Structure 1
Amino acid sequence: MDQLIGWTVVLPVKGLEHAKRRLAPDVGSWRMSLAAAFAADTLEATLASADVLRVLVVGGEGIAGSTLAQPRVTQLPDVGDLDAAVSRGTTWAREQVPHCPILVLQADLPCLRASDLENLVDAAPATRPGVLADAEGLGTVALTLPAGTSLSTAFGAGSFAHHVRAGADPIDVRAPHLRRDVDTLEHLRDAVRLGVGRATRQVLERMQFPSAQHLTARWAD
């Protein structure tokens, strides 16, 4: 579903203190650096998409100021809760441009490519909310909200099923890079296999591993 005025992306970014805690037992003190890198790579790929008009970053701790200062990026204050951040971002977007289509995107997608977003919005329903599941089919990596639509969100465990029950249509698109969010060591290994963005790659290089195969043994505190 192409939208002539372009998509507004809402990107909620958790504060680093609370981000990626499920990774902590395996990566130790690298957890916050990885969380910031995931968000930076997600934002960079999003800005590279021709379908994206603007990006609203809600929070954004750890993302370089030069990235957040780009003309198409607006940063809103962190409101703590992920669902509250999504609500804050979508409300702000519709106040600015009442009929804008909105794409809500998780900020832990280090494999994301601009072409993935273009395929996603092409496959999204035209008049109803849409939802894209994560690689496991349980969580949510993206929501599409065409002009005039809204959705009660509940991100977290089992969020894909909740969003379908709330009225979102599942989006059928083959997008392994987009669907690979990273919450666990297994997810990180899979992301490395798919290929990660520049910021995540730089953190992994500082951790001095060519692959994630032996991450627990070598990099946990």
Structure 2
Amino acid sequence: METGSRFFTSWSGGKDSALALHHAIRSGAIPELLITMMTETGERSRSHGLSRDLLTLQAEAIGIPARFAAATWADYEDTFQETVAGVVREGVRIGVFGDMDIESHREWVVSTCARAGATAELPLWGRERAGLMEELVADGFKALLVAVREPLLPPELLGKVIDRDMIRRFGEAGVDLAGEKGEYHTVVVDGPIFRHPLPVILGERVLRDGVWFVDIEAATG
């Protein structure tokens, strides 16, 4: 990306979108907006099940405005495209995405952005997994596990920070180190893109469709 380019980030709240945002900022581009797709109620993110309140506070800790769009799976693509088109009308024509190597995902973001008048940038595309995960840790990102798929990973890992030991455990379990096949999801609460850490507390664990989730809330006081 060119220095001074204005962009939005497709934001899950997790490590991939955080790393992609970090790469874009380091290139000299200017972040304008975090876009998160929500369930039809608008209260939880589609990708990671994070609450709107938590995502709002996360965006404030980073210092980039958040924009939310609620959709069912049936109208997800149309809603996302309309949201991007609205951002384009505001003068932001580049979108940054955290996809790594699933070709169907790349094709979707490229084509959907193009129909909305935007260009998709994928700074992590084609990067080797171990290197990306080492970068995550070495650069000081604090990513907590908020979802794990059974029986690949145990629910006891929920709320734990991804560090080098955790990456080793992923390798021993035989799962994708970056969780690209849905083995786990994260929320990032600190790192080089943050103005200040986001303190959180762990809530209830629930099992939905073979995936364990833990509710994460911002700590107050």
User: TM-score by structure 2 length?
Assistant: 0.43
User: TM-score by structure 1 length?
Assistant: 0.43
Higher helix share: 1
Q: Which has the higher contact order (CA 8 A, sep 6+)?
A: 1
Higher strand share: 2
